[in-house]
């Protein structure tokens, strides 16, 4: 709690200073303009994208990013249990094949090549945008299966806004959140804080034990807290400057699997993320310059096995970008990125570092009425003494017969080996400095039907995709049972995705109906090892089918929503001889909003797994049966 007290005091001092400065400001009032500069808004023609807006994020204010995506997207979330780590799988790809961007900066862990999305609190975000398919030309290494873009934004001249929420749930789950924002004519400053602790001692059916007894989860306690501080400056009518600082700390125990009697492991995670961005916007030319510094650490300790692993990564990112037009029908984007990373750990042969420089460019052209457009993008990265694949993409989209939107994209992608892949020197395993980057191509084609009729509008979309990845990296044991990574697989992923959205609005009454369905085959087509029984088989933990449906009804300040998620068979062995059964989860969300002049109060209830489904996302990792969460949130704006 000392962190909260210090942060609030700092914020109050800043508020007093800004208030004094604004009293002396005689410059003419400027319009409220949202600060946004991501090239994902402009140069992703042909890619399937989904935007989870602030209204949806508000429903999941007390959840993490893994919970949000598991219930509201077509991304499969590999969760190791309540309070444990969770990673993503886009279209049958691996966790390291997802690029996670925070306001345009890649925040994938440089050591592991992935991000534990259970550590991302939803209340820190204003918008989440998902881009499916390869996007290496835009974002570089790791953007193979898809991209998650976490965005923050604000508006000028909105006054003072305050929100405070408390939440209580099953298994002694307790959360507190505070958000403060001062929005003036030329300056916006905001501070968000959260605190979360839980015991997570839920009951579950242990199917790995004889008789499938009911047991209680043990060693699953967690504690997390963090803050996000943002500042936006309007220098003049053409220039803006923003700064952001994200600090977070987590301390969680690692529960035993269903086959273990006890586990004493503990993991502590922490990070400092600081960014700044300057933008100048003109009629024909936009200039952007941004810089980021990330400092992350992970300490893992297990007293039973006497394992004590401590690691730390530091990353600096500098990027300059320009956008300009040479006619009324095109837009050009050119930029340069430099990323420097270093790892500090006793688990490596040495403390490695890596300096990457990338040149990237995009060209977009559209018809006079903007009914059709096309984008061509390219990227080349450079690392000393390493060969980096050249990447490119081409996409198009436009109106077809006035009722449909046709979209298509083809992209080359790649993923560089992680520090772990290259330099690991732990017990019984070692890295491989000779690894090649994974690379390949992806293609997709979408047909979308949109229709509006008075108070009713709907969207019906279908997407077919194909992806090939060569030199897929996996860890294998040698004849001495020493594990090391190698480029041994060639993976082919293909499938179909369907989506339906129906909205009906009549004054203060609103109904939203949505449905999603995925069919994915992700198979190993070739292996460098002899007699590999995984050839021709589906990759492990890739559901062939999954689906989601939801119904949300609101009237005045009352709302109720129901979501049901189906996850199909997932193989747990590479030869496809063992698998996990499908499961279906049903959740209910209820909220009541009361308005009192400048104040609003929201009471909410979240009921999860109401059908008491006993299931496993990952083999032998317990998941809770029915559980709940109640919340009370206070809002003020003046």
For residue 96, the 8-state DSSP code is: G
Residue 55's pLDDT is what? Answer: 86
Asked if the model's pLDDT at residue 413 lies above 80, the reply is yes
CATH of the domain at 544: 2.40.170.20
| pLDDT average, residue stretch 172-176 | 97
CB 90 within 8 A of CB 75: yes
For residue 54, the 8-state DSSP code is: H
pLDDT, tens digit (0-9, with 9 covering 90-100), for 233-253: 999 999 999 999 999 999 999
d(CA 585, CA 169): 18
Which residue has better confidence, 394 or 526? 394
Task: Look at the chain and report how many structural domains it folds into.
Answer: 1
Nearest Cα neighbor of 613 from 584, 589, 587 is 584
Q: How many CA atoms lie within 13 A of 361 on its CB side?
A: 7
Residue 12's pLDDT is what? Answer: 39
CB 444 within 8 A of CB 47: yes
CB 577 within 8 A of CB 585: no
Which residues are bridge partners to 87 per DSSP?
78
Identify each DSSP E strand in 556-620 by its residue range: 558-567, 570-571, 579-580, 583-596, 599-608
Residue 428's pLDDT is what? Answer: 76
Residue 441's pLDDT is what? Answer: 96
Domain that holds residue 466: 2-23+32-637
Asked if the model's pLDDT at residue 4 lies above 80, the reply is no
Nearest Cα neighbor of 148 from 84, 214, 93 is 93
CB 75 within 8 A of CB 89: yes
pLDDT, tens digit (0-9, with 9 covering 90-100), for 334-346: 999 999 999 999 8
Give the pair of three-digit tokens for residue 338: 């430099």
DSSP string, 180-216: EEEE-SSEEEEEEEEEEEE----EEE-TTSTT--EEE
Q: How far is CA 370 from CA 38, 329, 467, 565, 624, in A?
A: 20, 8, 30, 37, 50
Residue 477's pLDDT is what? Answer: 80
Asked if the model's pLDDT at residue 95 lies above 80, the reply is yes
Residue carrying the six token digits 């050839």: 535
How does the average pLDDT of the chain come out, rounded?
90
Asked if the model's pLDDT at residue 261 lies above 90, the reply is no
pLDDT, tens digit (0-9, with 9 covering 90-100), for 353-376: 999 999 999 999 999 989 999 999
Residue 5's pLDDT is what? Answer: 39
Give the pair of three-digit tokens for residue 424: 């690991």
Banded model confidence at residue 436, pLDDT cuts 50, 70, 90: very high
Give the pair of three-digit tokens for residue 244: 């952001």
d(CA 273, CA 293): 6
CB 411 within 8 A of CB 468: no
Banded model confidence at residue 533, pLDDT cuts 50, 70, 90: confident
d(CA 62, CA 601): 16
Residue carrying the six token digits 């300790």: 301
Round to the nearest angstrom and report the end-to-end CA distance of the chain. Answer: 28
pLDDT, tens digit (0-9, with 9 covering 90-100), for 283-294: 889 999 999 999
pLDDT, tens digit (0-9, with 9 covering 90-100), for 595-637: 988 899 999 999 999 999 999 999 999 999 999 999 999 999 9
Residues 336, 133, 587, 206: is their CA dihedral positive or negative?
Answer: negative
d(CA 485, CA 436): 11
Residue 304's pLDDT is what? Answer: 86
Banded model confidence at residue 8, pLDDT cuts 50, 70, 90: very low
Banded model confidence at residue 15, pLDDT cuts 50, 70, 90: very low
pTM: predicted TM-score of the whole model, two decimal places: 0.92
């Amino acid at each position: 709690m000392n962190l909260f007290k210090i942060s609030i005091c700092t914020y109050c001092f800043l508020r007093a200073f800004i208030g004094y400065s604004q009293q002396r400001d005689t410059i003419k009032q400027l319009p409220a303009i949202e600060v946004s500069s991501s090239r994902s808004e402009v140069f992703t023609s042909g890619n399937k994208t989904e935007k989870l807006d602030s209204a949806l994020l508000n429903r999941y204010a007390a959840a993490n990013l893994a919970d949000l995506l598991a219930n509201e997207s077509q991304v499969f979330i590999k969760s190791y249990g309540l309070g444990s780590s969770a990673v993503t799988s886009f279209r049958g790809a691996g966790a390291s094949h997802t690029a996670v961007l925070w306001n345009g900066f890649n925040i994938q862990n440089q050591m592991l090549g992935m991000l534990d999305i259970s550590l991302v609190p939803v209340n820190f975000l204003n918008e989440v945008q998902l881009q499916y398919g390869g996007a290496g030309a835009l974002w570089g290494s790791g953007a193979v299966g898809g991209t998650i873009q976490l965005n923050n934004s604000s508006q000028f001249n909105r006054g003072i806004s305050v929100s405070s929420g408390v939440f209580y749930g099953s298994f002694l789950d307790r959360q507190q959140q505070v958000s403060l924002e001062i929005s003036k004519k030329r300056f916006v400053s905001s501070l968000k804080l959260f605190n979360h602790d839980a015991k997570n001692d839920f009951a579950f059916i242990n199917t790995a034990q004889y008789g499938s007894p009911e047991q209680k989860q043990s060693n699953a306690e967690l504690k997390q807290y963090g803050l996000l501080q943002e500042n936006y400056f309007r220098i003049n009518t053409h220039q803006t400057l923003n700064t952001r600082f994200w600090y977070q700390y987590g301390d969680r125990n690692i529960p035993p699997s269903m086959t273990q009697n006890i586990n004493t492991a503990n993991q502590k995670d922490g990070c400092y993320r600081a960014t700044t961005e300057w933008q100048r916007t003109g009629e024909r030319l936009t200039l952007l310059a941004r810089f980021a510094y990330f400092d992350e650490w992970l300490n893992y300790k297990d007293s039973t096995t006497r394992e004590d692993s401590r690691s730390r990564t530091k990353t600096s990112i500098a990027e300059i970008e320009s956008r300009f037009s040479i006619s009324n029908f095109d837009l050009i984007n050119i930029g340069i990125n430099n990323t420097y990373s270093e790892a500090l750990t006793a688990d490596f042969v040495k403390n490695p570092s890596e300096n990457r420089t990338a040149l990237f460019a995009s060209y977009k052209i559209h018809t006079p009425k903007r009914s059709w457009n096309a984008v061509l993008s390219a990227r080349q990265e450079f690392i000393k003494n390493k060969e980096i694949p050249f990447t490119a993409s081409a996409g198009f989209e436009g109106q077809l017969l006035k009722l449909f939107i046709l979209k298509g994209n083809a992209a080359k992608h790649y993923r560089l080996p992680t520090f772990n892949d290259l330099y690991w020197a732990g017990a019984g395993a070692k890295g491989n400095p000779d690894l090649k980057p994974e690379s390949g191509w992806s293609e997709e084609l979408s047909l979308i039907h949109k229709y509006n009729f008075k108070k009713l509008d709907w969207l019906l979309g279908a997407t077919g995709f194909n992806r090939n990845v060569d030199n897929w990296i996996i860890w294998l044991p040698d004849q001495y049972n020493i594990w090391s990574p190698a480029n041994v697989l060639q993976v082919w992923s293909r499938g179909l995705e369907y989506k339906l959205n129906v909205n009906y609005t009549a004054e203060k009454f609103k109904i939203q109906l949505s449905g999603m369905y995925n069919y994915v085959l992700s198979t190993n087509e070739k292996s460098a090892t002899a007699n590999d029984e995984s050839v021709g088989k589906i990759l492990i933990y890739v559901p062939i089918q999954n689906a989601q449906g939801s119904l949300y009804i609101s009237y005045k300040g009352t709302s109720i929503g129901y979501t049901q998620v189906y996850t199909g068979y997932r193989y747990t062995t590479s030869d496809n001889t063992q698998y996990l059964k499908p499961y279906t989860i049903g959740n209910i969300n209820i909220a009541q909003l009361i308005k009192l002049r400048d104040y609003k109060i929201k009471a909410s209830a979240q009921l999860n797994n109401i059908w008491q489904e006993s299931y496993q996302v990952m083999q032998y990792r317990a998941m809770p049966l029915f559980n709940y969460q109640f919340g009370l949130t206070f809002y003020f704006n003046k």
